[in-house]
Amino acid sequence: TELYTSGYEDDALDRWAAKIRTWADGGDPADARRLRGAAPASDGRDVFVYFDNDVKVRAPVDAMALSARLGLRTEVSA
């Protein structure tokens, strides 16, 4: 894969989905780094995800694939 021109592989989207679930539940993924003094969010968090991984050809596809893994709505409205 070439930097900023390719999409995410399935295993990468699976890893991101697991991290997002953990953050949304208020936890921290094992590889997360916390700012000094920041407290855990035990009651959960809102998680925002941005895809800018390419020339906008794969970003919408990757976003929809991640949404599906998270059980979120994936239809596109015009």
Q: Please, what are the averages of pLDDT over each run of 10 residues along the chain (78 residues)?
A: 75 96 90 77 84 75 92 75
The pLDDT score that the predictor gives to residue 70 is 95
The pLDDT score that the predictor gives to residue 53 is 65
Token pair, residue 4, equals 């900023």
Residue type, 73: R
Residue 69 near residue 11, CB atoms below 8 Å: no
The pLDDT score that the predictor gives to residue 78 is 61
Largest CA distance in the chain: 43
